[in-house]
């Protein structure tokens, strides 16, 4: 009897212990569970302010977060600019945080957008513009421009054109680039061509590529990336989608499979079939390495890649405007890159801090530094009058070409750039179309497939829009 009693006592105690530890496990799991659900809900207003920046009582400074997607030299330069801002005044403090690629940081923003936890400023790529406007997460910078009587005419008009929607500026342009054609001057000389005169039209490029082609070197190449295709369509005055490139309403139909798009595909197809086109894939580094190691004589790059191309090439590098179809006028280029967006739903003084920082970013000194460090455009043209920029331009006149190409651009719907929320998907369709083209598929057929895919994506986006 005794032993049984003892046993049951032990059992009881054990059960109590078990119960209590289970109780704790339960509490813990519940905590985990609520934490998980909290992070995806957007109505998370009651969360305490301790772990997030805001008004810092002790220092009396307003501290805000700035999410960006700049790595490498861009990040170094950006960190230096942010530090400069923090030291220039004592009211605000900006914390720059690298959040991965443009796609990655946008994905992260989606989980906190519109709440107090959202960063005050986020850098979003140009094709995310429509998505950001539709998202409802953001405060248009236009409201601060109006309040502050900020003079927009000091900024580059061609860049503003892209980001202005219905005459309103939603985000502050920041890092902007355009495509250029970069070529190997030494190879031009060897082939008996004038290295100062780059081919301008599609047929000239085709003929030049033919002459430049050797056993080790292709004549022309283009990164398999939708952006370049968009640009080659726009420079012919072609539209990407209907509804005035999506600027007068929600686009419903892709137009890039029209004659302008077909011109581009035929242009690439001709060279590919003649064996003068080198396919170096979808990776920026690969095509740049191919150019530097003289595997290709002419290629399309971003203006932000000019500095690297000059530095890495053991030969003379030329920079030219992007080619256009023979039968049309050159329209110029569409701005690429990214802009800075201000969050909605954060404290007012944080928005003010964000606005002050944005204004600081547009000053000529900052823009001159940014332009020289990275090769992105200065969004404030006065930056080009800065002494250090003039010096660099004298040394590398190639930089000037990129700016001139932008300033020569004819303003219009085509060069304003398309505005659709499903751009990443559409670009993917173009990549597939290009890859199929290089495998010998029919240009019109692959373009039509890409257009069909884009149409479906736009249809879903319009159907599910709030």
Partner 1 sequence: MNTHVKPGIWRRTGNARTAFLYLLPSVILFSVFVFYPMFRTIYLSFFLTNQNGEAALHVGFENFAYLLESSAFLNSMKATVLFVLYTVPIGIIIALFFALLANEKLKGIGFFRTVYSSTMGISVAASSVIWLFLFHPSVGVFNRVLSVLNFPQIQWLLDPEWALISVSISTIWMNTGFSFLILLGGLQNIDEHLYESSRIDGAGYFYRLRRITIPMLSPTLFFIITISLINAFQSFGQIDILTKGGPSQSTNLIVYSIYREAFINYQFGTASAQAVILFIIILIVTILQFKFGERKVHYQ
Please report, as ranges, the residues that interact with partner 1 according to CB under 8 A.
1, 4, 18-19, 22, 25-26, 29, 32-33, 36, 103, 107, 110, 113, 131, 134-135, 224, 279-282, 286, 289-290, 293, 295, 421-422, 424-425, 428, 431-432, 435-436, 438-439, 457, 460-461, 463-466
Q: Of the two residues 113 and 219, which places its CB atom closer to partner 1 in the complex?
A: 113
> CA angle at residue 104 from 222 to 239, to 5 degrees?
45
Alpha carbons within 13 angstroms on the beta-carbon side of residue 61 total 14
How far apart are alpha carbons 355 and 341 in whole angstroms? Answer: 10
Give the nearest distance from C-beta 422 to partner 1 in angstroms: 7
Q: Which two tokens stand for residue 247?
A: 């600027």
| Structural element, H or E, at residue 160 | helix 157-163
Q: Of the two residues 379 and 451, which places its CB atom closer to partner 1 in the complex?
A: 451
Q: Among candidates 110, 75, 451, which has minimal Cα distance to 252?
A: 451
Give the nearest distance from C-beta 134 to partner 1 in angstroms: 6
Give the nearest distance from C-beta 221 to partner 1 in angstroms: 11
Residues in the chain: 466
DSSP string, 370-424: HHHHH-PPPSSGGGGGSHHHHHHHHH-THHHHHHHHHHTPPPSHHHH----TTHH
Q: Of the two residues 257 and 363, which places its CB atom closer to partner 1 in the complex?
A: 257
- The beta-strand segments (E) located in 166-273 are 168-169, 172-177, 179-184, 218-222
Alpha carbons within 13 angstroms on the beta-carbon side of residue 195 total 14
Q: Of the two residues 141 and 457, which places its CB atom closer to partner 1 in the complex?
A: 457
φ/ψ (deg, to 5) at 149: 50, 45
Q: Among candidates 256, 206, 227, which has minimal Cα distance to 452?
A: 256
Give the nearest distance from C-beta 104 to partner 1 in angstroms: 8
Give the nearest distance from C-beta 15 to partner 1 in angstroms: 8
Give the nearest distance from C-beta 34 to partner 1 in angstroms: 10
Q: Tell me how crowded residue 207 is: count the other CB atoms within 10 A of its CB.
A: 15
Give the nearest distance from C-beta 118 to partner 1 in angstroms: 13
Q: What separation in angstroms does the CA of 366 have from each of 135, 153, 179, 377?
A: 30, 17, 23, 12
Q: Of the two residues 155 and 422, which places its CB atom closer to partner 1 in the complex?
A: 422
Q: Tell me how crowded residue 36 is: count the other CB atoms within 10 A of its CB.
A: 9
Q: Of the two residues 101 and 329, which places its CB atom closer to partner 1 in the complex?
A: 101
Q: Of the two residues 136 and 411, which places its CB atom closer to partner 1 in the complex?
A: 136
Contact between 320 and 181 under an 8 Å Cβ cutoff? The reply is: yes
Give the nearest distance from C-beta 113 to partner 1 in angstroms: 8
Give the nearest distance from C-beta 278 to partner 1 in angstroms: 9
| Structural element, H or E, at residue 207 | helix 202-212
Contact between 376 and 176 under an 8 Å Cβ cutoff? The reply is: yes
Give the nearest distance from C-beta 130 to partner 1 in angstroms: 9
Q: Of the two residues 99 and 415, which places its CB atom closer to partner 1 in the complex?
A: 99
How far apart are alpha carbons 465 and 461 in whole angstroms? Answer: 6
Contact between 290 and 160 under an 8 Å Cβ cutoff? The reply is: no
Give the nearest distance from C-beta 310 to partner 1 in angstroms: 19
Q: Of the two residues 8 and 444, which places its CB atom closer to partner 1 in the complex?
A: 8
Q: Of the two residues 29 and 444, which places its CB atom closer to partner 1 in the complex?
A: 29
Q: Of the two residues 230 and 352, which places its CB atom closer to partner 1 in the complex?
A: 230
Give the nearest distance from C-beta 374 to partner 1 in angstroms: 24
Residue 393's region, left for phi above 0, alpha for psi from -120 to 50, else beta, is: alpha
Q: Of the two residues 84 and 424, which places its CB atom closer to partner 1 in the complex?
A: 424
- Beta-carbon contacts of residue 233 (< 8 Å; ≥ 6 apart): 239, 240, 256, 260, 261, 264, 414
């Amino acid at each position: 009897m005794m032993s049984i009693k003892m046993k049951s006592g032990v059992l009881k105690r054990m059960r109590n212990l078990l119960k209590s530890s289970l109780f704790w496990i339960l509490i813990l799991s519940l905590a985990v569970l609520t934490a998980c659900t909290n992070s995806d809900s957007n109505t998370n207003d009651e969360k305490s302010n301790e772990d997030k920046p805001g008004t810092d009582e002790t220092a009396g400074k307003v501290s805000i977060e700035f999410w960006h997607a700049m790595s490498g030299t861009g990040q170094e330069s950006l960190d230096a600019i942010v530090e400069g801002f923090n030291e220039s005044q004592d009211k605000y403090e900006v914390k720059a945080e690298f959040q991965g690629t443009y796609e990655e940081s946008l994905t992260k923003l989606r989980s906190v957008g519109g709440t107090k936890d959202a960063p005050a400023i986020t850098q979003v790529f140009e094709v995310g513009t429509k998505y950001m406007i539709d998202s409802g997460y953001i405060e248009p910078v236009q409201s601060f421009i109006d309040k502050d009587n900020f003079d927009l005419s000091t900024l580059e008009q061609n860049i503003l054109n892209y980001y202005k929607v219905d005459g309103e500026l939603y985000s502050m342009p920041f890092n902007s680039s355009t495509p250029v054609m970069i070529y190997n001057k030494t190879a031009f000389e060897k082939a008996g061509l004038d290295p100062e005169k780059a081919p301008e039209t599609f047929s000239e490029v085709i003929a030049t590529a033919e002459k430049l082609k050797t056993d080790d070197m292709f004549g022309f190449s283009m990164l398999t990336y939708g952006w370049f295709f968009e640009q080659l369509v726009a420079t012919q005055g072609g539209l990407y989608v209907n509804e005035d490139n999506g600027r007068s309403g929600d686009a419903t139909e892709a137009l890039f499979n029209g004659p302008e798009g077909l011109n581009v595909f035929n242009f690439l197809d001709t060279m590919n079939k003649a064996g003068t086109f080198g396919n170096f894939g979808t990776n920026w580094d690969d095509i740049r390495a191919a150019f530097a190691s003289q595997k290709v004589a002419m290629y399309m790059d971003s203006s932000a890649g000019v500095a690297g191309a000059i530095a890495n090439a053991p030969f003379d590098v030329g920079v030219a405007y992007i080619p256009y179809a023979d039968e049309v006028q050159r329209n110029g280029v569409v701005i690429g890159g990214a802009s800075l967006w201000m969050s909605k739903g954060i404290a007012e003084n944080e928005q003010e801090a964000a606005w002050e920082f944005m204004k600081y970013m547009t000053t000529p000194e900052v823009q001159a530094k940014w332009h020289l460090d990275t090769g992105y455009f200065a969004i404030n043209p006065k930056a080009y009058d800065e002494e250090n920029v003039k010096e660099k331009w004298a040394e590398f006149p190639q930089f000037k070409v990129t700016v001139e190409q932008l300033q020569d651009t004819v303003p219009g719907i085509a060069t304003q750039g398309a505005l659709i929320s499903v751009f990443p998907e559409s670009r993917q369709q173009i990549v597939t179309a290009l890859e199929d083209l290089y495998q010998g598929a029919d240009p019109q057929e692959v373009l039509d497939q890409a257009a069909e895919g884009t149409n479906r994506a736009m249809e879903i986006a319009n159907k599910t829009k709030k």
